[in-house]
Amino acid sequence: MGEHVFWITSRAAGVTALLCASAAVALGLLMGGRFVVGRRGDLKTLHESLALATLGALAVHALSLLGDGYLSPSLADVTIPFVSDYHRMWTGFGIVAGWTLAALGLSYYARGRIGPARWKRLHRFTALAWLLGVLHALGEGTDAGTAWFLVTAAAVVLPTVALLAVRLGGTAVPAEQP
């Protein structure tokens, strides 16, 4: 067990990141698609908190791998896409998704400089980065073949994919203003 602590920690953090990111994206789609009325301030806080929790979990997911004695990745392996020899494509997808989520998420705090309209357009790419992260989890994840992971992932990913499909299809019904 002892020698696998970092490996297990990384996987658990990856699962947490997937859960938090899925919830954050789903909330963002709900708010942007005008599916919800009232308490938008609270939902926005929830969305922001989940996004920050995702970034924290992603940092643990990547950095804890540095302590794994079996894989022994370098800092470049876990931070630069397509450098690691371990599942090069899936790892690359994960790193691209992680950096994109970080950049798009943290850009919220610079939206004054970016411009609210431009930031809003950019922020939509978060869903794409999240999808890339889901591909990384399913393609490379050590737990991707286990029932508990598949059930958990399906519970958060499928509703979010459905919301995304509705949003892309443009069938969101504008909520009535109070």
Partner 1 sequence: MWFLRNCPSMTRMPAPTPHERLAARARRVALLRRRVIAVACASFALAWAVIAHAGSTGAETAANASVASGQETDSSTTANDSGTVTSNDDGGTLTTAQS
- Cβ nearer to partner 1, comparing 15 with 127: 15
From the CB of 10, what's the least distance to partner 1, in Å?
10
Q: Are 136 and 90 in contact (CB under 8 A)?
A: yes
Nearer to partner 1, 11 or 136 (CB): 11
Q: Are 43 and 30 in contact, with CB atoms under 8 Å apart? A: yes
Q: In the complex, what is the shortest distance from the CB of residue 9 to partner 1, in angstroms, rounded to a whole number?
A: 7
At its nearest, how many Å lie between partner 1 and the CB of residue 169? 25
Give the nearer residue to partner 1 in terms of CB position, either 49 or 79: 49
User: At its nearest, how many Å lie between partner 1 and the CB of residue 115?
Assistant: 25
Reading the block at residue 149, the tokens are 């992971």
Q: What is the DSSP string of 128-149?
A: HHHHHHHHHHHHH-TTTTSHHH
Q: Which residues bind partner 1 (CB under 8 A)?
A: 1, 4, 7-9, 11-13, 15-16, 19-20, 39, 41-42, 45-46, 49-50, 53, 56-57, 60, 68, 70-71, 142-143, 146, 148
Residue 90 burial (CB count, 10 A): 18
Of 78, 74, 47, whose CA–CA distance to 60 is shortest? 78
Dihedral, 107, 84, 62, 101 alpha carbons, nearest 10: 20
The nearer residue to partner 1, 10 or 126, going by C-beta atoms, is 10
